[in-house]
C-alpha cells in the first residue's frame, strides 16, 4: 500500500491583512472612479450652442456660483412671466413686494433643508447626496438688487429664449392644480426665501450645477455640455452681472 504524502496546512490570512487588502481594493476603485469622473467633467467643458450671441434687446439672466452651489438670478416679473404667480407671496415669511429679482436653485432636499450653514453640514448627508439618488427641492429667494450678489455673471437673451428657460424651470417643479409650486412647510434660511418640492433625483452626475446648465441649454445659451462641478456653469458668460430687466 503506497504511503500518503503529508499535506501542507493552508495558511489563513490574518484579519488585519484581510482588512488591509480590502482597503487597498477600495482605494483602487475610488481612484479609478475619480479618474473617470474627472475625464467626463473635462470632456463636458466642451461648449454647446457655440453659435449663441447675446441679444441686443432682451432680458438679462445671471448665474451665481460659489465653491459648491449655483443659482439662477432672474427678474421677478416681465412680459414673459411673473414668478410670484408660481411662487406665491404668502409662501415667504415676510412681504416681498420690493423685490425685483429672484434666485432659483435646485438640489438635494436633505442637504438643502438641514444645511443652513457650513457648521450644520453632516458627512452622512453629503455622502448620501452624492452617492445615492435622492429627493430634490428648489430654494427660492427674493432679492432687491442683483448687483449685491457677489461673483454673479450675466448674459442677455431674447424673450423667446427666456420663455424656453422659464418652461424648462417649471418642468422641474411639482405644481398644484393652480399651477403654483408646492412649498416645503417649516423651512427657510431667512425672511425672503422658501423651499418648494421639485422633480428629479440628485446624485454626483446630476447636481445643482448641472441643473442650472441644462436650464440655460434649453434657452440656447452657450454653456459647457456637462457641468456637475461649481464655477463651470457660467464658464462662457460674456459679462459681469447687471440688474435683470
**By percentage, how much of the chain surpasses pLDDT 90?**
53
Query: Length of the chain, please?
Result: 245
Mean pLDDT for 54-65 is: 91
The predicted pLDDT at position 230 comes to 82
Cell numbers placing 143: 432679492
Phi-psi region for residue 37, left (φ > 0), alpha (ψ -120 to 50) or beta?
alpha
What long-range pairs does 10-18 form, CB within 8 A, spacing at least 24?
none
Mean pLDDT for 70-76 is: 96
Spatial neighbors of 153 by CB under 8 A, at least 6 apart, are 62, 63, 234, 237, 239, 240, 241
Cα separation, 139 vs 141, whole angstroms: 7
Average pLDDT across the chain, whole number: 85
Contact 181, 196 (CB under 8 A): yes
Spatial neighbors of 230 by CB under 8 A, at least 6 apart, are 65, 66, 67, 68, 69, 70, 209
Cα separation, 237 vs 198, whole angstroms: 27
Nearest alpha-carbon partner for 105 in 196, 190, 44, 186: 196
Residue 175: strand pairing partners: 181
Residue linked to cell 451665481: 64
- In this predicted structure, the answer to whether residue 18 has a pLDDT above a threshold of 90 is no
Q: How far apart are the first and last CA of the chain?
A: 101
- In this predicted structure, the answer to whether residue 104 has a pLDDT above a threshold of 60 is yes
Tens digit of each residue's pLDDT (9 = 90 or more) over 160-200: 999 999 999 999 999 999 999 999 999 999 999 999 999 99
Q: How far is CA 158 from CA 3, 32, 99, 172, 240, in A?
A: 93, 43, 23, 22, 18
Element (H, E) at 23: helix 15-44
Tens digit of each residue's pLDDT (9 = 90 or more) over 196-228: 999 999 998 899 999 999 999 999 999 998 888
- In this predicted structure, the answer to whether residue 243 has a pLDDT above a threshold of 70 is no
The predicted pLDDT at position 14 comes to 74
The predicted pLDDT at position 25 comes to 76
Q: Residue 123 gets which letter from DSSP? A: H
The predicted pLDDT at position 33 comes to 63
Q: Is the pTM higher than 0.85? A: no
- In this predicted structure, the answer to whether residue 86 has a pLDDT above a threshold of 70 is yes
- Say if residue 204 is exposed, middle or buried (CB neighbours under 10 Å; 0-12, 13-18, 19+): middle
- In this predicted structure, the answer to whether residue 245 has a pLDDT above a threshold of 80 is no
3-state SS class at 132: coil
Element (H, E) at 223: strand 223-224
Amino acid at each position: 500500500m503506497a504511503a500518503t504524502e503529508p499535506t501542507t496546512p493552508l495558511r489563513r490570512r490574518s484579519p488585519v491583512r484581510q482588512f488591509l487588502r480590502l482597503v487597498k481594493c477600495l482605494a483602487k476603485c475610488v481612484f479609478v472612479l475619480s479618474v473617470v469622473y474627472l475625464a467626463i467633467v473635462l470632456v463636458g467643458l466642451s461648449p454647446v450652442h457655440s453659435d449663441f450671441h447675446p441679444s441686443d434687446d432682451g432680458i438679462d439672466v445671471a448665474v451665481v456660483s460659489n465653491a459648491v452651489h449655483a443659482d439662477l438670478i432672474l427678474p421677478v416679473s416681465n412680459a414673459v412671466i411673473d414668478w410670484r404667480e408660481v411662487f406665491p407671496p404668502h409662501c415667504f415669511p415676510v412681504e416681498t413686494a420690493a423685490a425685483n429679482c429672484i434666485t432659483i436653485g435646485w438640489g438635494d432636499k436633505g442637504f438643502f433643508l438641514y444645511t443652513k450653514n457650513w457648521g450644520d453640514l453632516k458627512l452622512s448627508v453629503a455622502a448620501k447626496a452624492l452617492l445615492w439618488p435622492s429627493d430634490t427641492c428648489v430654494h427660492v429667494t427674493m432679492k432687491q438688487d442683483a448687483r449685491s450678489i457677489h461673483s454673479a455673471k450675466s448674459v442677455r437673451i431674447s424673450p423667446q429664449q427666456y420663455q424656453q428657460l422659464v418652461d424648462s424651470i417649471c418642468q422641474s417643479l411639482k405644481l398644484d392644480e393652480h399651477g403654483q409650486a408646492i412649498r416645503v412647510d417649516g423651512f427657510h434660511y431667512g425672511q425672503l426665501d422658501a423651499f418648494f418640492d421639485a422633480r428629479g433625483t440628485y446624485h454626483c452626475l446630476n447636481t445643482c450645477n448641472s441643473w442650472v446648465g441644462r436650464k440655460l441649454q434649453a434657452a440656447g445659451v452657450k454653456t459647457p455640455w456637462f457641468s456637475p462641478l461649481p464655477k463651470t456653469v457660467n464658464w462662457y458668460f460674456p459679462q459681469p452681472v447687471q440688474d435683470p430687466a
